[in-house]
Amino acid sequence: MTTPWLDDDQRQAWVRLAAVLELLPGVLDSQLRRDAGLTHFEYFTLASLSEAPDRTWRMTTLARRTNATLPRLSHVVRRLEDRGLVERLPCPQDARATNARLTAQGWQTLQETAPGHVATVRHHVIDALDPEQVDQLADIAQAILGRIDPEGRLSMTGQSAEPDPAPVFNEA
């Protein structure tokens, strides 16, 4: 079977998307490191915990929600623990499992960091687009996520319709 090559328009779209995927993480990391001493992944981990019931997830659940291996997540959670942003505790339903919980200091850090993060996302992504393009971006991202994340772990599908109390991408 022969793989069909990308035509010029498809190649141009792919190269531009690849450039965004390469450059955007550095932009997000720079702002978060400057404002809170956090990497984007650490922020994403804290944000995921902020959305959990009682701001607590099992480490295995948190790993799925952040697309991390358990060893990587454990290392990151240890760093966040050292800063007082997260605490680990035994899972009451399963003594073999460990939970990670966002601390009050972690919640405060998210609340203080979110406005700068949202401003960065707005400046570099949302404000570069008109409203129709934002809708198209959402549709395009969802179509791609349907292929690479069919379980919806990272696409925020299947979450409750209740307003998110976390200031991750909303006003604090």
* Residue 165 in this model has a pLDDT that exceeds 50: no
pLDDT value of residue 171: 39
pLDDT value of residue 153: 81
**Residue 86 and residue 80 in contact, taking contact as beta carbons nearer than 8 Å:** yes
Considering the entire predicted model, what is its pTM? Answer: 0.83
Domains and CATH numbers, the chain: 23-148 (1.10.10.10)
pLDDT value of residue 169: 39
**Residue 166 and residue 47 in contact, taking contact as beta carbons nearer than 8 Å:** yes
Q: What is the per-residue pLDDT across 58-114, written as a single tens digit (0 to 9) for each?
A: 999 999 999 999 999 999 999 999 999 999 999 999 989 999 999 999 999 999 999
Number of neighbouring beta carbons within 10 Å of residue 138 = 10
Nearest to 77 by CA among 108, 50, 101: 101
pLDDT value of residue 170: 39
pLDDT value of residue 155: 64
pLDDT value of residue 159: 41
* Residue 1 in this model has a pLDDT that exceeds 90: no
